Structure 1
Amino acid sequence: MTRNTKLDRFAAGAALVIAVGTMPQIAAAEVTLKVADTFPPGHYIVETGTTYWMDRVTELTDGEVKFQYFGAGQLGSLRDMFSMVQTGVVDIGYVPPAYNGGTMPLAGVHTLPGLFSQSVVGTPAFFETVTSDPILQNDFLANGMRPVWGVMTSTYNLFTRDQDVSGIDDIKGLKLKTIAGNMAESVKALGGAPVDIPSPETYQAIRTGTVDGTIFPTTSIYSYKLDEVIDTAVLGLDVFVYWAPYAIREEVWQDLSPEHQQAIQQASQEAMQRVAEETDRSAAELEDKMRDSGIEVIVLDEAQREKVKSATAPVFDAWVSGLQERGLPAGEVLEMFRANIEKHQTQ
């Protein structure tokens, strides 16, 4: 598959969300957009995606669109990002639905366990889903923002410290750093005790024994320096995948010229493809790197993986029924996402 063909995957979804605003624009004008996230320095999403995206937009607009970037939580915590975009503290912010389930409930469909295993499949599939109604209107536009670009991380696996772990049965009773919602429910289904802790606080929580370990994306172990505090990795659990999106305040988007919107759209397509490819490449290499770091790596066999799927199956029904009781079309969203996954798996 050629790079151009891969980029075409993203075009359909991107065109839906980065649609040209309805307000007429007179002429392109220079603008500086303030961008914020909480990724630590050196994180692969920033190095491969965010920095590239900002530079590419500036290039495509001949310097008319520039950025002020505030990373590593300089302007606020992960839980602050949503309100910072809404209130205009920043123009573009890192607003993952996994940490904003109360205001972005339908987008939480991506946190259901085991839907896909590759970022190059999940990233375009979910971008098409999240940039279409009902998610676009309910979770983003209703909150005064729209997604610009986002990437699916590698699947989440189990990483522990000072625990006797050899398979999924040993999860029972472990206190594990999770994210509230479907990940926490999946951990409960496997017998663990979920503890809701933001990712930047994971290192300290493991080091001090606040938790016994974490459910975490394999590709982020080193950027968060967790290799310094874990001694065992259990791969193949695949109970969660995390969507890392940047959203722009809708008022800011509507004030941009059509030319600037188009440049952002193109750069977003390219950035998503770059990061998705890097995610899958890195995940494939990290098993050996962890072993070389002295971490014991356990890979679940097919029988153990089937036990995980069976144990976590009720999480799907609970998520759908819980939102439908609130009048939200969760079943429709799940089927839409599954259809988009199937489409991109065959491309």
Structure 2
Amino acid sequence: MKLFTTTRTLALMTASVAALATVPADAQQLRLGDFQSTTHIVSKEGTTRWIAAVEEATEGAVTFQHFPSEQAARASALMDAVENGILDVALVGTIYHGETLPMNSIVGLPGFYGSAVEGTKAIQAMLAEGPLRDEILETGVVPLFGFVLPPYQVLAQKRLGMPDDWRNLNIRTAGSTQAMTARSLGSVGVSIPGPEVYTAVERGRLDGILFPLASVAAYNLQEVVTHISQNGSFGGYSFVMVARKEMFENLPEDVQLAMIEQGNEVALHVARAQDDSIAGFLADWAAQGVDIYSLSDNELEALSDAMTEVAEDWFNRIGRGSDTAREVLERYRDLTGG
């Protein structure tokens, strides 16, 4: 069991007590945490939309007290917060839990899905049954729904096209799988949380950033780079809404069903919202003088050839060459056409 700071726990308990006065007497209030701000598209079109949908579908039988922006626990500790009863539900980034959810890191592989909707359909199918679902259940939580961010692009101070352009650069990556992607292109993967990337680029610690375009504006990264690709596929990132298993199983069946059904709808909604937001962002950044470029067919082919080894690297390093890892890789490939 991991310990949480006394200050953070006391703040959560105090907020919980204060909120009880506004909750109907017959309602069951659940504490939900995540690490995105309420202005981020993942929160606006995902988390908060799901909260409202579940409360409406259950006619107030279940309500939520929402703790965004790491108010209840840091991104890497959200899973533990649910397991230990600090939270009832949390939206977790699976890459932050690589040690306990190694198979779920499959989403970080490059060249598999081409849009958030495509990737979300694949992840939803794999969370419904199979190894991805099983390893989440083994931690003591239940996956309710999941979705992905759009394919990661590269943001840098110069145009990064052919693999030779990437040699010896420090590239921000998310998780160990994306670090393999950077290494396949001759770069060094540097793991830095999203909120710290802006400063790292300003100070010259990073030469480039792998990031999903729908999330760039939330961190104003377009202000510190001059070139942004728009048609690459340098890996992905998945979110999963999880609930404490014992708590979830004690809820009425109709409430459980509402949480899952509304999650299925919201998963595709937030995926589509992210995909749809990208064109507007690109137009705005281009107007600000950022070079928004498309990788040529030759560049895409060369990058794909260089990154081919990443899937096998994942299978051997993360999956330890197991039959389970092979099953996960083959199913993910079938679902995405990667």
Identity of aligned residues (%): 28
Match runs of 1:4-15 below 5 Å: none
Counterpart position of 2:195 = 200
Aligned with 2:204 (options 195, 204, 209): 209
Per-residue deviation, 1:327: 4.1
Counterpart position of 2:269 = 274
Counterpart position of 2:146 = 150
Match runs of 1:1-347 below 5 Å: 30-137=27-134, 139-160=135-156, 163-168=157-162, 169-325=164-320, 327=322, 329-341=324-336
Q: How many residues get paired?
A: 312
Query: What root-mean-square deviation, in Å, do the aligned CA atoms of Structure 1 and Structure 2 show?
Result: 1.8
Flag the 1:314–1:228 CA change in 2: closer, same or farther, 3 A: same
Distance 1:240 1:215 in 2: 9
Distance 1:265 1:324 in 2: 29
Distance 1:300 1:325 in 2: 33
Per-residue deviation, 1:284: 3.4
Secondary structure class of the residue paired with 1:95: strand
Counterpart position of 1:24 = none
Cα pair 1:31 1:66 within 8 Å, conserved? yes
* Residue type of the alignment partner of 1:96: G
Per-residue deviation, 1:328: 5.4
Distance 1:234 1:202 in 2: 18
Distance 1:274 1:144 in 2: 27
Secondary structure class of the residue paired with 1:221: helix
Per-residue CA shift, 1:178-234, capped at 9, x if unaligned?
123111111111111111111222122222222223100011010122122222212
Distance 2:171 2:38 in 1: 25
Per-residue deviation, 1:319: 1.3
Per-residue deviation, 1:98: 1.4
Stretches of structure 2 that go unaligned for 5 or more consecutive residues are 1-25
Per-residue CA shift, 1:49-86, capped at 9, x if unaligned?
11111001000111111001111111222112121122
Per-residue CA shift, 1:151-192, capped at 9, x if unaligned?
1111101112xx333523322222121123111111111111
Stretches of structure 1 that go unaligned for 5 or more consecutive residues are 1-28
Distance 2:148 2:211 in 1: 13
Of structures 1 and 2, the one with the larger relative CO (CA 8 A, separation 6+) is 1
Q: Which segment is superposed worse, 333-342 or 80-89?
A: 333-342
Alignment TM-score, normalising by the size of structure 1: 0.85
